Every structure is written in structure tokens, then in C-alpha cells.
A and B are shown apart, each in its own frame.
Chain A
């Protein structure tokens, strides 16, 4: 099948406010639908993206500081790629301790779940920081070749 040399890209920029979540979700769902992804994969991607955004709003930008979050989505070689960029403080998701999923209720810690979701629901999660460009999180979902936890446990 002929593949276009320049795949279609989908982009959105919003400010770092919690009330932009509906706009972000709407963008991800519409983009994924346009790329013919099934609803389970759309849910996984949407959840991972929202968790990433919660982290950016909570950790990357100091409270009350205005900033932006840029989204770039494309489909490349059967991979759905979403790049999320912000210009806040460096925030490496790998620096967050993984939650103990086996702990009893009393011992369960509150943090770390969002990053656990991102890593479980997506097939690849990569982070980089650049002083000029800021934080960049690139997450990939493999389409049509197996897939991550989210699909295997329906």
C-alpha cells in the first residue's frame, strides 16, 4: 500500500490549566478516531495523555505560573506517536517511585499511579529535557501488532 511521505500531523497548544482537560481529551479522541484507532486503544492513549498533563500542571509549572502544553500526534510505521512538550521545570517521570500495587489499604501510598498508568497503557514512554525546548515526553502505542497491557486484559 502506498504510504504518504509526510504523514498527517495533528497539533494542539493549550495553557497549563486544569479546565483545559476537556479540550485536550477532545483533541486526542478526534485525532485517534481520524486515524481509525479502536475505542480501547483510544481510551488507553487518552488516559496516558491526561496523566501526563496532570503531572505537567502539578509538577513542571510552579503554582500560578502561566505556561503552555504543546501536543503533536502522528501515525508512523504502525505506531501512534504523541509528543507532549512543556516549558516548565525539568520533570523526569522515571524519577518518580513506582507504587507498590500489592500493599494493603493502610499501606498504599498516594503517589506514582499516573506514571504507572502511562507506562502500562503505552508501549513506549521516553522523556528528554532541553534548556531551550523544555520537557518533551514521547509516548508510542503500537497499532495492529499485539500491544500493551491495556489491550491484553480486556
Chain B
């Protein structure tokens, strides 16, 4: 898994590629925590190049969403590949996360 973080004004866009599983989820968590602790609390995560996410990855997103809400920030997700979206739906996450087709749409609505 790789991550690239691009700060666009007050929003941090995290572009993730590869697999988010039990072995890589802690790295994602670390990066997201770093953003939050430096007060970057408006976050867009772009999943365009993510082919797989496990429950371990979803746990990180849930913890991040809760923390951002506590800090009055916001989290937007975009460009989920069909199978990744299926896992989100199965977990009931499509009801609690704001998910967009494109990064532009996510940025406009944060």
C-alpha cells in the first residue's frame, strides 16, 4: 500500500493505492492520525487505486471518522472501486460515510 498526501488549502487529500489489509492498515492509521494531530481535520480519501480493503482497513476508517467528528472536522471518501464499495455496503458503511464518485465532487462538498 502507498499513500500520497496533497494539501489543497484547508483540505488534505489522501490518495491511497494497493491493498488495505491487516498488515497495511496500521500505516494508514498512523498517517491519518498525524494529519489529525496537526489539526488537518478536513480529509478526503481517494480510493481510486485500492483494489481491496479488509475489515481491518474499515476499522481504521471508522476510528478516523469518529475522531474527526469529535474535532469538528469532516471526512469524505471518493472513487471506490466496485468490489471495495461492495465491502463498504456489506459493513453498513455506505450509510455512515459520505462517498463520492469523483475527487472534485468530494472537495466541493467538504
Q: Write the residues of chain A forming the contact surface with B, with a CB cutoff of 8 angstroms.
A: 18-19, 21, 40, 43, 46-47, 50-51, 54, 57-58, 99, 101-106, 108, 110, 113-114, 116-117, 120-121, 149-150, 153-154
Contact = CB atoms under 8 A, between A and B. Distances in A.
What bracket does the count of chain B residues touching chain A fall in?
Answer: 20 to 34
Contact of A110 (B62, B69, B89): B62
A150 B82 CA distance: 11
B66 to A, nearest CB: 6
Nearest to A108: B62
Contact of B69 (A105, A117, A121, A153): A105
Contacts, number: 69
**Dominant secondary structure of chain B at its interface with chain A:** helix
A18 B22 contact: yes
A51 B69 contact: no
A51 B96 contact: no
Given A43-B86, A105-B65, A153-B89, 5 more contacts: A50-B21, A104-B96, A108-B66, A108-B96, A113-B59
7 contacts: A18-B22, A43-B83, A47-B87, A108-B66, A116-B90, A117-B55, A154-B86
